[in-house]
C-alpha cells in the first residue's frame, strides 16, 4: 500500500463514505440488506435472495441485520472484483461474437478456436453449442467460462 499515493487512497475512501451516507438514509451509521440490494441493482447486479443472504452472512456474521461502514467497504471490494471479472468475460465474449448479435453460434466459436490453434472439430463445437439450444448468450457464456480462472 505504500506505493499507492495517499491522495488516491483518501479519494477512494471519501467516495465510499459518500456512497455509504447516501444509502444510510436514517443516518444511524448502518445500512441494511435492502440498501445493499438497491446498490447492487444500480451497478447492474441482480442477486437472488439466496445470494443476498449469503452476502449478508459474509458481511454480517453476527446477523445483526446492519452493515457498518467497514463491512460496506468489504462489499465494494467484492463487487469490484466481480465487476472486473465480468468485464473480462464480456471482452472475451465480444471476441467470439463476430456478427454482434449478442449470441454465439457454432460457426463463431469454431472460427475463434481455430484462430487460436485449438484442436477441435466443427462437430465437437456444434455438439457443445447444441447443448445450449444452438446459441450461447452472454449469461450462459459466463456460467460456462466464469468458473475458469482467468
- 59 lies in a domain? yes
Same domain, residue pair 64 and 114: no
- Answer left, alpha or beta for residue 58, where phi above 0 means left and psi between -120 and 50 means alpha: alpha
Number of folded domains that form the chain: 2
Same domain, residue pair 11 and 55: yes
In the prediction, which pLDDT does 30 show?
92
In the prediction, which pLDDT does 3 show?
54
pTM, two decimals, is 0.49
Which residue, 83, 106, 124, sits at the end of a domain? Answer: 83
In the prediction, which pLDDT does 149 show?
40
Same domain, residue pair 108 and 133: yes
* Domain span including residue 13: 6-83
Contact in structure between 61 and 70 (CB atoms under 8 Å): no
Per-residue pLDDT 10s for the chain (150 aa) are 445 566 666 777 888 888 888 888 888 999 988 888 887 777 777 888 888 888 888 888 888 989 898 888 887 777 666 666 677 777 778 878 888 898 999 898 888 777 776 778 899 888 888 888 999 988 888 776 654 443
Contact in structure between 134 and 104 (CB atoms under 8 Å): no
CATH number for the domain spanning 13: value is 1.10.238.10
Residue corresponding to grid cell 456474521: 61
In angstroms, the CA 15 to CA 98 distance is: 38
Which residue, 57, 83, 109, sits at the end of a domain? Answer: 83
Amino acid at each position: 500500500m505504500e506505493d499507492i499515493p495517499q491522495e488516491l487512497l483518501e479519494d477512494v475512501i471519501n467516495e465510499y463514505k459518500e456512497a455509504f451516507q447516501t444509502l444510510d438514509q436514517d443516518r444511524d451509521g448502518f445500512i441494511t440488506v435492502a440498501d445493499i440490494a438497491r446498490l447492487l441493482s444500480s451497478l447492474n447486479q441482480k442477486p437472488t435472495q439466496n445470494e443476498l443472504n449469503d452476502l449478508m452472512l459474509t458481511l454480517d456474521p453476527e446477523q445483526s441485520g446492519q452493515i457498518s461502514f467497514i463491512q460496506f467497504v468489504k462489499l465494494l471490494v467484492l463487487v469490484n472484483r466481480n465487476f472486473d471479472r465480468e468485464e473480462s468475460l464480456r471482452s472475451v465474449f465480444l471476441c467470439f461474437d463476430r456478427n454482434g448479435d449478442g449470441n454465439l453460434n457454432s460457426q463463431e466459436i469454431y472460427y475463434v478456436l481455430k484462430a487460436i490453434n485449438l484442436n477441435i472439430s466443427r462437430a465437437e463445437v456444434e455438439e457443445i453449442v447444441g447443448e445450449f439450444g444452438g446459441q450461447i448468450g452472454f449469461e450462459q457464456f459466463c456460467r460456462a467460462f466464469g468458473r475458469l480462472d482467468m
